[in-house]
A = this chain, B = another copy of it.
Amino acid sequence: MTTTGADLLVSTALANGIDHCFANPGTTELHLVQALDRADGMRSVLCAFEGVCSGAADAYAKVTGRPALGLFHLGPGYANALANLHNARRHHTPMINVIGDQASWHLGVDAPLTSDIDALSAWTGRLIRTESADGTAAAMAEAVAGALGDPQRISNLVIAADHAWGEATGAPIVIDPPAPVGVDDDAVIEAAAALRRPGAALVLSSGIITEATLRAAGAIRSRTGCAVFTTRAGRLELGRHLPRIDELPYFPQPLRAALAEVEVAVVTGKGEPVTFFGYPDTPSTPLPDGAERVSLGGLDDDLEALLQALAAELDVAVPPGADRDVDPLPPVADGPLDARNLGQAFAAAIPEGAIVIGESITSGAGYRALAPSAAPHTLISITGGAIGGGLPSAVGAAVAAPDRPVLALQADGSALYTIQSLWTMAREGLDVTVVICANRRYQILDIELDAAGISLEAAGPGLTALDDPPVEFAAVAAGFGVPGVSVSTGAELERALARAASEPGPHLIEALL
């Protein structure tokens, strides 16, 4: 058997512990398809749209901490992956996107599918191009190094078709992982001093927020009386086993209100909170004027180590367990569904160890309020705000953790961006339960329109309504091979969730709000 450049690229990925590929190949990737297929230990997951690949790879990497591969067809295929790569970029998700390009000598004739891949790559991360079939090992090694060490963690590896099919000699190259980031003791001392002051708040911003981090933050709060918040975590532990730490609100007015009493804020990760959008007569940063800002590490620092050092500096012992009285989950109110009883039923249905995917700002509020009383679980969020990341994330999380049930709380409008995800769930038999929050509108836009004092004329369907016709999600799911059901009361939702939990494979529940 001839070893091709594609084989060497794949074996280099495997030698670096990268053994999953979310793929949507085309003609320029034929030999990569062959190489993925014949490499022992590589699992390829076919997606019917590239945005499913990139969103799945993002969640896979968030759950495992290891880079995932994506495989894309030329510039246009990679373009379809970009929106969810924006979300990955915001989280600093380690990712390697392999993009098959025209044969090197075919680029010059400007064939129809040829385009400036470099321009697209610049939007997300590092560009690497193969130089020969033998060079695929070095190219993949550089991609691994970028995924582990670049600021934005995204490597785009463009492989010419002739480098993929050419015979390759040479061995895989293994990259040493970068040394762990140390803790900046001066920053810890400064943060500790700040948190001892009145009006202090600790804001855990973005990144991965672990149980140990939350326990340390809770203990620091108990000792110092500071406020603690999370905001825009990509991966967050939640449940009754942890201190209750609230998330900062999404909309600017409640966000400002939550921070109104802060005099000094210690912020980690991405840094000081900002509003999602700019609004007239509203500051971009919701911390009060004059509040002091103290930075405790960036998004690539080891937040868990920082918080443990902070606890030590404050002489705080971190207790195990919730360290609080946990309110029991309320019974699920029957009657027509709204955000409240939808949240009650969803929170009650979370099994211990589950992964929850949250892409529902307006209808997900009920679940989010009850999450601290739910069974221990992990919440994966859409970190860059680019919608359409939810269903692909459910695919990637379920592939990453086959022993953990995945529950996706998914807005209807954003579900439509990457609805093809359902097919991969069926194809792979993934243990995913999707709850579609079907208010049949872009409700967040209606709220924003109202806040801006804009009332649209009644004539004709507006640009925020999804109800004419309504999308029948249960039918769409069935078409993609996922059993679907539509429910409209709290009791119906409870029963549907119980049934989904009792059966293997994916399920979709359309919750009519």
Contacts and interface: CB of A to CB of B under 8 A. Distances in A.
A113 interface: yes
Given A161-B277, A476-B480, A111 B284 contact: yes
A120 B423 CA distance: 29
Interface stretch (A101-109, A177-185, A300-308, A489-497): A101-109
Contact of A479 (B280, B448, B452, B471): B471
B461 A472 contact: no
A64 interface: no
A427 B479 contact: no
A90 B115 CA distance: 10
A21 B75 CA distance: 26
A123 B454 contact: no
Interface stretch (A322-330, A398-406, A462-470): A462-470
Contact of A385 (B112, B276, B413, B456): B112
Q: Give the copy number.
A: 2
A51 B387 CA distance: 14
Interface residues of A, number: 97
A109 B452 CA distance: 22
Interface in A162-188: 162, 165
Interface string A66-100: 00000000011101101100100010000000000
Contact of A38 (B49, B102, B277, B457): B457
A17 interface: no
B46 A463 contact: yes
A296 B79 CA distance: 33
Interface stretch (A27-35, A195-203, A259-267): A27-35
A500 B274 CA distance: 52
A112 B162 CA distance: 39
B103 A86 contact: no
B36 A463 contact: yes
A277 B83 contact: no
Contact of A34 (B113, B119, B454): B454
A82 to B, nearest CB: 4
Contacts of A161: 277-278
Interface string A100-142: 0011011011111101100110110000000000000000000
Interface stretch (A241-249, A346-354, A369-377, A414-422): A414-422
A454 B31 contact: yes
Contacts of A25: 445, 463-464
Contacts of A469: 423, 426-427, 480-481
Nearest to A28: B277
Given A76-B386, A103-B279, A119-B120, 17 more contacts: A27-B277, A33-B454, A33-B464, A51-B80, A109-B284, A111-B275, A111-B284, A112-B276, A113-B384, A116-B122, A116-B123, A162-B280, A416-B423, A427-B461, A469-B480, A475-B476, A479-B479
5 contacts: A48-B416, A48-B466, A112-B384, A423-B471, A475-B478
